[in-house]
């Protein structure tokens, strides 16, 4: 999870795309005519990839966040959107439906930037950043599923601890879950960002280097659990070879080891893919300096056989 601050409002995108040059170079190799941008966000990668295409090209943008599709609709109504771009509200797992809606059979490339957008961090009503208080929600789509606060209320101490350990790799997950349940039993259920941060501060000792906020891993874990992020990624990796033409590419940027491990194994173990990046590409020092949230990014590329 990335916790950089931002002063831009959710209606004014402030997100800076990660590893843009590397993404464009990877996609350009297959001379794409149809691209799926599975995590459209503020559209940074898509805008760059449009430059690779002629007037007949198509980019299908997918995003679970209604704020993204609302922004795109406003741009279209104002005549500020490229006609080659179509944005759909939904997970990248639903890419086949979007292709069908555009009368397209398969894509030449699919790009997934699995990081949390700076615009989502800036929206205090969503609870993604533990630097600002607000409801402990953490959903990409506030109209689907349940907020993280309700998710915890519906699960046992063991289930909460297991999720925080599995998805956040937090060693003190059992302490955290115990404290969450204790507060709920006392009629003080954790419902806000500040309350969850307080739980983490009390349960997670500060490391010697103080390089990570005590709530970082727990918030990552709750976000993954609430949004079924790893489930969607696993199912997509299992099927996306069917959505991409031979010679096309799959480009994935991950930000933590759980995601990267899934991507690495899927590309390596599925015989329909040829691994292009034996080791993941990392952002340059110059990019990390100008965009600190890129520092943990790993980019992997596979070619459809």
What single-letter DSSP state applies at residue 81? Answer: S
92 is in an annotated binding site: yes
* Tens-place pLDDT, residues 188-203: 999 999 999 999 999 9
User: Phi, psi at residue 21, to the nearest 5°?
Assistant: -65, -40
111, 35 Cβ separation under 8 angstroms:
yes
218, 168 Cβ separation under 8 angstroms:
yes
Q: How many CA atoms lie within 13 A of 6 on its CB side?
A: 25
Which SS3 state, helix, strand or coil, does residue 302 take? Answer: strand
- Contacts (Cβ under 8 Å, ≥6 apart) of 47: none
The dihedral over CA atoms of 200, 206, 212, 216, expressed in degrees to the nearest 10, equals: -10
* Tens-place pLDDT, residues 67-126: 888 888 888 888 889 999 999 999 999 999 999 999 999 999 999 999 777 666 667 778
Task: Report pLDDT for 128.
Answer: 84
pLDDT exceeds 50 at position 8: no
Span of 32-36, 52-56, 67-71, 161-165 with lowest mean pLDDT: 67-71
CB-CB neighbours of 186 under 10 Å = 8
120 is in an annotated binding site: yes
242 is in an annotated binding site: no
Task: Report pLDDT for 120.
Answer: 67
Task: Report pLDDT for 2.
Answer: 39
Segments in 52-170 forming alpha helices (H)? 66-77, 95-101, 118-122, 148-153, 157-168
* CA-closest candidate to residue 301, choices 17, 16, 64, 19: 19
Task: Report pLDDT for 13.
Answer: 53
69, 89 Cβ separation under 8 angstroms:
yes
Instruction: Please report, for the chain, the start and end positions of each structural domain, with discontinuous segments joined by +.
Output: 20-119+230-304, 128-227
* Tens-place pLDDT, residues 246-300: 999 999 999 999 999 999 999 999 999 999 999 999 999 999 999 998 999 999 9
pLDDT exceeds 70 at position 219: yes
> How far is residue 130's CA from residue 75's CA, in Å, rounded to a whole number?
31
Per the CATH hierarchy, to which homologous superfamily does domain 128-227 belong?
A: Putative methyltransferase TM0872, insert domain (1.10.150.170)
* Tens-place pLDDT, residues 125-164: 788 888 889 999 999 999 899 999 999 999 999 999 999 9
pLDDT exceeds 80 at position 4: no
* Tens-place pLDDT, residues 164-181: 999 999 999 999 999 999
Task: Report pLDDT for 229.
Answer: 96
Task: Report pLDDT for 70.
Answer: 87
Q: What is the mean pLDDT of the chain?
A: 91
45 is in an annotated binding site: yes
2, 30 Cβ separation under 8 angstroms:
no
pLDDT band at 7 (very low <50, low <70, confident <90, very high): very low
Assigned fold of 20-119+230-304: Rossmann fold (3.40.50)
Task: Mark 65-98 as b/e (b = at least 16 C-beta within 10 Å).
Answer: bebbbebbeeeeeeeebeebbbbbbebbbbbbeb
> How far is residue 222's CA from residue 201's CA, in Å, rounded to a whole number?
16
282, 297 Cβ separation under 8 angstroms:
yes
Task: Report pLDDT for 259.
Answer: 96
273, 241 Cβ separation under 8 angstroms:
yes
Which SS3 state, helix, strand or coil, does residue 247 take? Answer: strand
Show the tokens assigned to 222.
Answer: 């709750």
Contacts 24+ apart (CB under 8 A), 21-28: 22/281, 22/299, 23/48, 23/49, 23/111, 23/113, 23/251, 23/253, 23/299, 24/48, 24/49, 24/51, 24/52, 26/249, 26/251, 26/276, 26/299, 26/301, 27/52, 27/109, 27/111, 27/249, 27/251, 28/52
pLDDT exceeds 70 at position 50: yes
Average pLDDT over residues 24-43: 96
Task: Report pLDDT for 296.
Answer: 94
């Amino acid at each position: 999870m990335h916790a950089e601050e931002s002063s831009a409002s959710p209606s004014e995108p402030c997100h800076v795309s990660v590893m843009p040059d590397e993404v464009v170079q990877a996609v350009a190799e297959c001379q794409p005519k149809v691209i799926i941008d599975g995590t459209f966000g503020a559209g940074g990668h898509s805008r760059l990839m449009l430059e690779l295409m002629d007037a007949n090209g198509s980019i299908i943008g997918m995003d679970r966040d209604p704020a993204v599709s609302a922004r795109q609709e406003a741009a279209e109504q104002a005549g500020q959107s490229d006609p080659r771009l179509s944005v759909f509200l939904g997970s990248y797992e639903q890419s086949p439906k979007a292709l069908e809606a555009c009368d397209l059979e398969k894509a030449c490339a699919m790009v997934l930037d699995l990081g949390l957008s700076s615009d989502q961090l800036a929206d205090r009503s969503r609870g993604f950043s533990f630097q600002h208080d607000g409801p402990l929600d953490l959903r990409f789509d506030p109209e689907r599923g349940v907020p993280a606060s309700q998710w915890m209320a519906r699960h046992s101490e063991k289930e909460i601890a297991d999720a925080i350990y599995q998805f956040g790799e937090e060693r003190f997950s059992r302490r955290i879950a115990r404290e969450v349940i204790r507060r709920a039993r006392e009629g003080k259920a954790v419902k806000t960002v500040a309350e969850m941060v307080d739980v983490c501060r009390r349960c997670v000792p500060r490391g010697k280097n103080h390089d990570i906020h005590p709530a970082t891993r727990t918030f990552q874990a709750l976000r993954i659990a609430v949004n079924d992020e790893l489930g969607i990624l696993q199912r997509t990796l299992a099927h996306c070879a069917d959505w991409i033409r031979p010679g096309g590419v799959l480009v994935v940027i991950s930000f933590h080891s759980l995601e990267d491990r899934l991507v690495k194994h899927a590309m390596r173990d599925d015989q329909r893919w040829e691994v292009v990046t034996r080791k993941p590409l990392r952002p340059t020092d110059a990019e990390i300096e100008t965009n600190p949230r890129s520092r943990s990014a790993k980019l992997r590329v596979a070619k459809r056989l």
